[in-house]
Every structure is written in C-alpha cells, then in structure tokens.
Structure 1
C-alpha cells in the first residue's frame, strides 16, 4: 500500500502546509523523529518532506527506527532525497541510538513506545521501560547538544479516571490503578512527562509534552489494532463492521494530519515544561459515533454484538477521555478536518493507496 499514490493524500498535505505558518521557523533545521512509521510520526514526517518539496525549505529529516528497510519503504517517495537520513538502532541496547546521532540536530520528536492495546496487555514491562529509558537518553543528548526543542508524545491516558469524566484540562488528574499491568502505559507516560519537567527546570532543556486523544487516519500501519485504525481499514476493503460493545465512551478524535500540525505548533510555540492536549473540538464523539462515520463513508454496515466473555484487560479504562483544547488553541492552532471529513478522507485515501 503506497499512500503517495493517493492524490487526496497529497492534497491534504498541501492543505495543511498552506495553513501552517510555523513551518517557516523550521527552514534549514534538522529534525529527528523516533517512531517514524507510526500513525502520528509518519504524518509529521510527510508534512516536512512535502514542505521541502514545495518550498525548498532544506529541512534535514532524521528518521530513527529498528528496521531501516521498512522506513525507506514507507517513505519511498523520498528514498533518494538528500534530506532523508535513516538511523537504524537496537532498542534493546541502551544508548545505541544516541551514539549514532550527529551534533547538528535542532529538534527531536519522540513518538516511540508500544501503544497497541494488545502489546500493552501482553508486554507491560516493555511498555513501561522503553518509554522512560530512551527519553532519559534523549533529554541528556538535548542538554549537551543545546537543541531548540524536544517534543514528547504522551497520551490522554495520563489523566486516569474520575467520577465526573472529561473533558480533561491539562491539570486535571484522576485515579490510576498502579498495580494493574495495564497501567504500565499510563504510568510510563506520566513518568516521562515528569522527566521532561525536571530537565526543563534543572537543565533548561526546552522540553514539551503533547497529549493526543484518539488519532486516526490512513497513515496507521496495517497491524495497528486500535479500533479506529482497524475499522477504517476493514471499511475501506468493503467489509461490514461489528462492534463487541456499545461503544459509549466519549472520546476526542483527531485526523492524523491535524494531530501532526498541532504537534509542530507545540514544538514551535509551546512553553517548556508544559503539556498540551490535542483535540479538535469538531471531533468529540462516542466510539460508536466515530465508527459510524467510517461505515457511512465506505457504504458498509455497522452492527453491535456484545461479547460478555471477551477479555477486556487491554481496553482503555476511562469512560470519558475527551480533552479540553483551549491551551492548544491559544497557540493559534486550528483543526482543519472534522470527524465526517476526516473519516471520509481516510476511507478514500486507503482505497486509492490499496489500488496502487
């Protein structure tokens, strides 16, 4: 599947770039993106690559991951670009990535770490430790190299649960069962956020935190088992959708290019040591409501068959995870794709990409 064969995807990238003035501040810089094949980080990389194409911006883009061949395959359009540098590293070998970094990195975007519900439930230790260990190394590098900014991609799960539910502001925190292995994800993210705050205060490292809600879009990998990613792909293939719960949880959904533009805005304009929710006010709806958008866009059926025997240990424990986006909006960011348009574009782009 080649997203670059989709005219709509290229058009969406151009639309975002036209409305993202902060990209001018990144001209001639060097950006390190870790987790570059993921849903969010691949969208960020595509925005920067496309901006280079359109504006001759001269941004050097370092993409770090465990498999250089897969990174080059994902970004095949730019495989021969002088501005693409691929850094393959061993995530089990502490310090391996840092040893391969050049001195001229301007910005770091850390999007590594398991986020799949299945992986979190099956490998809680990896979920916790991978996040913390790598970020510590990156922050130490940021301190010694005097970079312009490090953005850590956290999660809305740091808020935990509370009786009144969302929308959560950045200083609203609820309860997390710290002895549940499922909490390894939320607790790991909380630990990483505290690391950012500590390096910001003690070392004057410009460290920023993004807390995305539920992000979706065609840049999701085909093995992504988040419900929005899995259902969008199935719907694009023409398959009917079936939910095994009522899907009543209220969530802040965000099209991946909106999320990517928000993160670049935070990296450029955000205040060090601060966290920013990422939520499009036009895309706050229930799980069922969002899945209905995918079904409608693809012309397939959506049904519910409740399975009381299903193991739900890996499910998100929050009944309402919607986010307040006022702090992000104060930076001048605005979402461009509401739930209907985002779902429709996701289905169309996937169909075009699968035909390539």
Structure 2
C-alpha cells in the first residue's frame, strides 16, 4: 500500500496520543491479518513505536506476497511471517496478540464458509493456546457488530449485553456464529487459564487501507467513486448501520489494549456515523461527483449478505473509559476517497 501524505497525517494523530507504550518494551507483539484493512494500519502504528520502546512486531498473514506489498519498507523491529492461523503456530511465541485475521466480506463468506468459521474458532484457539503459555501479555480479539445479528425491534441501538436473532440455518450465519463462539472461547480461556483479554466489537470499517477484492457495499461504493463510475446499490438501501473510519477503529483497539477492563467486550463506532445504506451511497456519490444506480446482486454474492436491517452500536461503554471517535462519516469518506485517488494516480504513473 502506498502511504500518502493524508494517510501519514492520520497515522500521526494516533502516534501522538499518550498511551503507555513502555508496557510493550521487550515484548513480541503479534498482529494476525496484518495485510488486511485493520491489521495493516495497526501494524504501521506499532512499528512506528517499536524502535523507541524496544519491542518487536510480528506481522502474520497467509501470504508473504501480500505482506511484502503491505510493508515494502523493512524495519529491524518488524518480522513478516507467512502462516495460516488455522494450523499450529509452531515456534512462534508471542505473549501479546492482536487477532485481526478473518474473512470479512460477503463473497468470502459465501465462497469460503468453512474457512470463515475455522479462522474465528480454530485459528483463535491456536493463538489463545500460544498466548496463554507465553507469558503475561494481553490478547485482543477483533470481534464484530455481526455478533448481534438481527435487531428484534426492541432497541434503537445495541449495547454490549444485547443478543439479537441469527438464522443459523444460512451459510451467511457462519461468520456471526463463529464470532460469537470466538468471544465465548476467549471467556473460557479467561476463566480456566486466567488469560488477560479484551474484545473490541467493531462496526462496519472503511478507509484507505481497504483491499480491492473486498465485496462489502461500502468498499464497492468507494472504488466505484474513485474510478469515476456510478455507485451501484444492490438493495433499496433502507438498512441502517453504524460505520467507523479505520483510524478510529485502530485507535480504539489500542485504547482498549491499554485501558480496557480485562475479559470485557466494547462496541466501537465512529462519530455521527449511523446512516442508511442509501444515504451512504448518496454521500459518496456527492463527494465523488457520480450517480447512484440500482442493480440486484448475483446468487453467490447475495448468499453472503447480512440479513440485518438495523445494526446501530451504542458506544457508551468505551466512552466511559475515556475514548472518543475522532472522525465523522463525512470526514472519513473524504479522506478515504482522497487517499484512494492518490494511490491510484501513483500506481498509474509507476
């Protein structure tokens, strides 16, 4: 990924925060899914602090090519590891873990439903075993708004105690249910092995580190916009969701790593970022100067779509710890479109 000036400025807004980075001194910090949208930004932040505070960052992903593309500049404090978390970790030993690896978009859910479940359960177990044996670090499991399922119509926003409806007979439910099992697995390790962990439940994330093969609606809107094409909406757009700019998501994960109460889950969402899908499409189209058109999804893609019609997160709990989102939806969209446009321009010139 090309680090634009806008991206580096956003990264700097996290780096200047007064987190107790010294707690990481001497540790090996593992980031799984390190070439993904959230994991790559998180890795960039950690590597930027690793030299000053003398710790190592282990960036793990299934493919070395993706890692080298995500991190073209080497640092003596960064180790790239190609490994499938669904296999035993072998000689990898890290007591501090940010588990961000997961299938996170509709086409992946429908084409690889087994792998989706395995990463959120078997892969997680492999890492929990490693971390619980390695020492006294902290484990961060990146969970999702998807664990709430369908709003039963009894609340306007989900707090951390809410439990909605999931149709477990659908292929799509593999993601939701496995994230739920993953959270339960963390609780089991916390109870039986006294593992220190915290769980950020992320809303729908977007930002300049998004991958082109991501089939989420927001991502498709953004790539259509930066290429000057009309935005394609594959439903009536009445779904009401919470969104979060990737820099806020990463900042929240770090805040919870340093400040979150052990064995707790926290909702994470952006500022003024609850919006219908149609309104979102219109905002992106207005920023990019394109139109919105409607087109129904094909059968494969539709199997991976969420059935939720209202999934808004209440972030009162994380706010009580002192964290606040920094980016409004409009600001995040403009920054993402600017950065993606700059990246595409640089790639064309190269």
Q: Distance in 1 between matches of 2:76 and 2:230?
A: 44
In structure 1, what is the equivalent of residue 5 of structure 2?
A: 7
Candidates 251, 255, 258, aligned match of 2:241: 251
**Matched position secondary structure for 1:76:** coil
Equivalent positions of 1:188-337 (< 5 A) are 188-303=178-293, 305=294, 307=296, 312-337=302-327
C-alpha spacing 1:150/1:351, structure 2 compared with 1 (3 Å): same
In structure 2, what is the equivalent of residue 71 of structure 1?
A: 67
**Matched position secondary structure for 2:310:** coil
In structure 2, what is the equivalent of residue 345 of structure 1?
A: 335
Q: Which has the higher contact order (CA 8 A, sep 6+)?
A: 1
Listed one character per residue, the Cα deviations across residues 114-139 of structure 1 (whole Å, up to 9, x for unaligned) are 12211212222221122211111111
In structure 1, what is the equivalent of residue 174 of structure 2?
A: 184
Q: How many residues are matched? A: 344
C-alpha spacing 1:24/1:302, structure 2 compared with 1 (3 Å): farther
Q: Distance in 1 between matches of 2:209 and 2:154?
A: 34
Listed one character per residue, the Cα deviations across residues 95-122 of structure 1 (whole Å, up to 9, x for unaligned) are 1xx21313xx341011112122112122
Q: Distance in 1 between matches of 2:125 and 2:215?
A: 28
Could you tell which deviates more after superposition, 235-244 or 34-43?
A: 235-244
C-alpha contact (below 8 Å) 1:293/1:344 kept by paired residues:
no
In structure 2, what is the equivalent of residue 99 of structure 1?
A: 90
Q: Give the structure-2-normalised TM-score.
A: 0.92
C-alpha contact (below 8 Å) 1:231/1:241 kept by paired residues:
yes
Structure 2 runs not aligned, ≥5 long: none
Could you tell which deviates more after superposition, 236-245 or 343-352?
A: 236-245
Shift of 1:212: 0.5
Candidates 83, 90, 97, aligned match of 1:89: 83
**Matched position secondary structure for 1:347:** helix
C-alpha spacing 1:251/1:109, structure 2 compared with 1 (3 Å): same
Shift of 1:163: 2.2
In structure 1, what is the equivalent of residue 17 of structure 2?
A: 19
Q: Distance in 1 between matches of 2:337 and 2:298?
A: 31
**Matched position secondary structure for 2:12:** helix
Structure 1 runs not aligned, ≥5 long: none
Could you tell which deviates more after superposition, 118-127 or 258-267?
A: 118-127
Listed one character per residue, the Cα deviations across residues 252-274 of structure 1 (whole Å, up to 9, x for unaligned) are 10000100000111111112221
Q: Give the structure-1-normalised TM-score.
A: 0.91
C-alpha contact (below 8 Å) 2:271/2:329 kept by paired residues:
no
C-alpha spacing 1:25/1:291, structure 2 compared with 1 (3 Å): farther
Shift of 1:18: 2.1
**Matched position secondary structure for 1:252:** strand
Q: Distance in 1 between matches of 2:292 and 2:54?
A: 46
**Matched position secondary structure for 2:79:** strand
**Matched position secondary structure for 2:172:** helix
Q: Distance in 1 between matches of 2:192 and 2:85?
A: 27
C-alpha spacing 1:251/1:236, structure 2 compared with 1 (3 Å): same
Root-mean-square deviation (CA, aligned residues, Å) is: 1.9
Q: Distance in 1 between matches of 2:34 and 2:333?
A: 22
**Matched position secondary structure for 1:44:** helix
Shift of 1:143: 1.4
Shift of 1:233: 1.7
Q: Distance in 2 between matches of 1:244 and 1:326?
A: 32
Q: Does 1:126 align with 2:90?
A: no
C-alpha spacing 1:175/1:51, structure 2 compared with 1 (3 Å): same
In structure 2, what is the equivalent of residue 112 of structure 1?
A: 101
In structure 1, what is the equivalent of residue 58 of structure 2?
A: 62
Q: Distance in 2 between matches of 1:148 and 1:308?
A: 44
